[in-house]
Amino acid sequence: MSIKLFTNELSAVYDDSLRQMLISDFEIIQDAINEMLDNQLIIKRQQSDIKETQTTIESKIRVQDENMHELVNILTKYDVPIQIVNGKVVETEEGE
C-alpha cells in the first residue's frame, strides 16, 4: 500500500527555491508514510503467524496432556503405582 502526494503540483507563484524545498519535504514525508504503511502490513502478517503458531502449540499441549492422562489411567488399571500430581506423573507408594 502506498500514498502518492502531489509534490510537483505546487504553483509557480512561489519562488523556485521555496518550491523545491517544499517538494523535497513532501517527497520525504511521502517516503516515510509509505515505509510506515509497509511496516504495518509486515507487523500484521507477523501477528497472524504468531497467533497461528500459538494455536498450534496450544493444541499440541492439549493433546499431550490428554495422552498423559490416558496413559496414567491405563497404567493405574494394571495396578502400576502412578498418578498425576501438580501436572506431573509421579510414582506412588503401594496403597496410596
pTM, full prediction: 0.55
By the 8 A CB rule, do 77 and 83 touch? no
Per the structure, the count of domains in the chain is: 1
DSSP state of 83: E
Residue 57 lies in a domain: yes
Give CA 42 to chain center in angstroms: 10
Residue 64 domain flag = yes
Within-domain flag for 72: yes
Q: Which domain holds residue 64?
A: 16-91
Is residue 46 in a domain? yes
Residue 85 counted as domain residue:
yes
Task: Give residue 1's identity as a one-letter amino acid code.
Answer: M
Q: What is the pLDDT of residues 56-68, one digit of tens each?
A: 999 999 999 898 8
pLDDT at residue 5, rounded to an integer: 64
Instruction: Say if 7 falls within a structural domain.
Output: no
The amino acid that residue 71 corresponds to is L
Specify if 77 maps to a domain: yes
Q: Is 62 helix (H, G, I), strand (E, B) or coil?
A: helix
Structure confidence by residue, pLDDT tens digits, 73-89: 888 787 777 777 776 77
Residue 3 lies in a domain: no
- Burial (CB count <10 Å: 0-12, 13-18, 19+), residue 30: middle
